[in-house]
Structures are given as structure tokens and as C-alpha cells.
Amino acid sequence: MSLHDTSSRWAAIGLACSLGALACSAADETKFPGTRSTGSGGTTPGGTGGANTGSGGTGAGIGTGGAGGFIGTTDGGSSEAGFPCTNLQCFQNNCKTGACKVGPCANGGTTSVSGSIFDPAGQLPLYNVIVYVPNEPLTPISTGASCERCGTVSGSPIASTLTDTRGQFKLDNVPVTDNIPLVIQVGKWRRQITIPNVASCADTPLTNKDQTRLPRSMAEGHLPRMALTTGGADALECLLRKIGIADSEFTSEAGAGRVNFYSAVNGAPRYNMTLNGGAMFTAATTLWNTAATLRAYDMVLLSCEGTENPNNKSVAARAALQEYANVGGRVFASHWHNYWLEFGPAPFPTVGTWNHQDDPPNPFTADIDQTFPKGKAMAEWLVNVGSAAPLGQLIIREGKHTLDATNAAVAQRWVYSANPVSTQYLSFNTPMMVPEAMQCGRVVFSDIHVSSGDTSTRNTAYPDGCTTTGLTDQEKALVFMLFDLSSCVVDDKRPPVPPIIK
């Protein structure tokens, strides 16, 4: 499968609509006037509507509308009686109303596309990535902290699914036509490709990794804008390069790149001469001293500085970081950045029981909390990507002990150890202590360093300290954490679900 410019696909559809060849409309499908009454859907996953139009069943399947009706939503949503198909809907095998272009598959079959989604490097398959066919052109993704909750994506999807713990997906009800747009998205990572054609009522596998990976640069799609502060005790900046982000995206905050570095205590202070002409990084305090500066970023990644350094994290800065998280920002705080939480404004300190102890043995084996859906997924995913530890465990090197326990009322424990008793990784949604529907941001605290052999020092220019190539199990765990941090905000007690099909 080769890549194509999808603008031609939408231009062709628009022309066909204007000529009346398709029952199309530029308006949202919910704006069509209904021509029939609405009946109730069945109570089983494949619930059947009443005499006119029914909603989908209350189960996980697809409800069938009544005479002259339409297809209900995948999760038992509302019916839209008498609405004709629009755009690519008219090419789906389950099309029921309007100028449908293809017939149904025999014996309940479907036209599908399958494959695996990878990180930008095309190496690691990724969990919980949305894969969908849009029915309209995509709208631009905003940059900066914003309230991006689960359940909706742009382009009015007509088929959607999520990748599993092997990074695999199978997308049903794909339109039977040429040049089908396919979107892969997790949070503000988004790429749209074009599938030249599919076989009707059969599965079309996508096997080219270069096609089914997230974008490496803005030339390929959309990346979240990230700020990363360097630190002398870790080299988190090297992990971003390992997952495949192109060097062109590493620039100063004044540049067009999506990743901007800021210099913190003892971390790398500048680029080397081959990258941005050896420019110096701006001081980390410039980033985190005001909420306005932080809000310009989708994600803020804080590499361990080797000590808490309270002198560069003022009361105002700690309040600014909380404000940033509350309006939809995403924060990854590595070891010693506990200070933002432990000594941050209320209610941040309540996320766990802070208790600084000696380092645990090196290495030591920690457990993955599998009592919640994403924790179970993380355990399975690590095995699927070749972790040396058995299911449900992670071997940690150069571990730290800052946190004894997680406050389950406000935060989620991910990785922990029983001996010594510690929490190695936790997350929580923000603002804290408000209804889920009001939460937009997310914060992660990790006592787990990258610990890859890469270095970040005050005498090292970026990327000179990034000398390793493969990913350790510990790095793989952090990659899982970073993409989860990127994803839409949902209560961790509930499993992720794909966008609703209207």
C-alpha cells in the first residue's frame, strides 16, 4: 500500500455530491431532518429496531434499523430516523438509506482492514491507538493545553476501533471504494494515510510498517508540542529520539519544531553544532515559572535533576504547574520531580505516602498492578514486546524509593514493589477531586529512570550523549507510559473505548 494525498478523495466526493451522484451533505449528519419516527433498539448486542427506525442494541454490537431506517451506533446510541447516507457511508456494506452504492455481505460478513500500529520509529507496536475512517476532512488539532476527552475525534468517523496489547487492529465496515482515508491517532499524535482499494466483504491486511506508524514529523502528520527539561541524573531526551521523532522537530521554542528543550540542573545545556547550530537551551525556570508559558505545550516532560532543587521551583512555579495540569496539560515527572507534588499546592501532596528511603537493590523486580484495565494491558504489552520479566513484573535498574504507597482515592498505582514497599509509578487526572466529566489533564510521577546508558550532563551537547540504539525493558515501560500520557483522559477504572459512530 502506498501513501496518497487524501485531499483528492475529499475533492472527488465533494464534486459527486454537487452533481447529485451521492446523497451527500457538508453539514453534520445530525442536522438532517428525520422522515420517520424512532423505535427502540433491542436489548441484545445486535438489537433490531421497531417498525420504523431503531437505535442500536444495548450490547457491544450494531443495532439494525427498521424499515427505511439506518444503522444504530456501536454502543447503543440514538437513532437518526430517515437520514440518508453521506459521503463514504454510501460505500459501506451496512448502508441502509439513501444512495447506497454497495450491497450487504453474505452471512453477516464485513469489509475490513487489519494491521499493526507502531511508534514513529516503526519498532514498537502501540496499545490503545485509535484507527478510523473519517467521513469528512479532518480539522486541525489545537496546540497547547486543552480539554481533550475520550469519545470524539474529528472527521465524523464511520468506522473506528482501537489497537490491542499487540498493537494490532481489525477495522470493520470499511467503505468499498478507491482511495479510502485511514486515520491513526493517540491523543494529539495523528497521521492520515490512504488505502488505494479494499476487497469487498473480505479483510485487507496492511503490512507496511512505514505506513502504519505514527508520524515522525509534522510533514507526515501531527505531533503534540512537547517541552522537556534536561537533568543530570537522566537522559529522557534521548528516549524521544529513539522512538523515532525526526531531528527536524527538535528546535528552540522560537522554532517550528514540536520538541523544545529547556536546561535544568546539570543536564545537557545546548545542541551540538550539527543541530540548530549549537544553540543553547533556555533555562527551565523560564518554562515553569508561569502558567502562560506552560500552556503553550501539550506535554511537559521533566528529567531527573539528581536532587529536588527547591531553589528553582518556587511557590509560584508549583502553582503554575498545577494550573497547567488543571486546564488539560500533561506532565511527566521523573524522580526528584516529586517536589512538584509532595510540596505542591493542595491537593497534589495527597496522591500518595511520601517517604524518602535508600535506593532499592540494583536491579530489583517490581510488580505491575493488573487490577485495572490499562495496568493489565501494560503487563501483557511488555510480554508482547519481548520483556525479559514474566507477565506482571518489571526488572528495574537504578530504582529509587520516594513514595511508599498510592492514595487510591485520587491516583492510580501502576508499578510497585512489595520488598521494599514502594510505588514506582503512579498517575492521576486533573483537576483532582472533581467529577470525571470535568477532568482534562493528567500527571505522572515515576521513580523509574530511563537508565539506558545514555547521558545528559552540563558538558554534553544534544544528541552527543545519546549513544545507545536498542530499547531496554525499562525504556519500553516508559514508552508505554508516555503514549498513555498522550492519550485522551478517561477514568483508569474503565477500559478505553473507540470513538462513537453516529
Contact between residue 410 and residue 347 where contact means Cβ atoms under 8 Å apart: yes
Task: Write down which residue in 205, 234, 269 finishes a domain.
Answer: 205
- With a cut of 50, list the residues of the chain below it in pLDDT: 1-8, 11-81
Same domain as 231, residue 190: no
Three-state secondary-structure class, residue 179: strand
Same domain as 425, residue 298: yes
Three-state secondary-structure class, residue 138: coil
pLDDT of 82:
60
* DSSP count for the chain of H helices, then E strands: 8, 21
Contact between residue 396 and residue 474 where contact means Cβ atoms under 8 Å apart: yes
Q: What is the pLDDT of residues 231-268, one digit of tens each?
A: 999 999 999 999 999 999 999 999 999 999 999 999 99
The number of domains in the chain is 2
Same domain as 327, residue 256: yes
Residue given cell 476532512 in the structure block:
137
Q: What is the pLDDT of residues 98-140, one digit of tens each?
A: 999 999 999 999 999 999 999 999 999 999 999 999 999 999 9
Rounded distance between C-alpha atoms, residue 298 and residue 488, angstroms: 12
pLDDT of 451:
67
Same domain as 421, residue 319: yes
Determine how β-strand 441-446 pairs with β-strand 330-334.
parallel
pTM over 0.75: yes
Contact between residue 79 and residue 57 where contact means Cβ atoms under 8 Å apart: no
Same domain as 436, residue 406: yes
User: What angle is formed at CA 1 by the lines to CA 496 and CA 488, rounded to 5 degrees?
Assistant: 20
pLDDT of 305:
94
Host domain of residue 236 = 226-358+400-470+480-486
Same domain as 345, residue 276: yes
Q: What is the DSSP code string of 397-421?
A: SS----EEEE-TTT-EEEEEEETTE
Same domain as 335, residue 252: yes
The CATH number given to whatever domain includes residue 173 is 2.60.40.10
Rounded distance between C-alpha atoms, residue 433 and residue 431, angstroms: 7
- Three cell numbers at 343? 510540596
How buried is residue 325: exposed, middle or buried, by Cβ count under 10 Å (0-12/13-18/19+)?
Answer: buried
- Judge whether 75 lies within some domain: no
Same domain as 247, residue 154: no
pLDDT of 30:
28
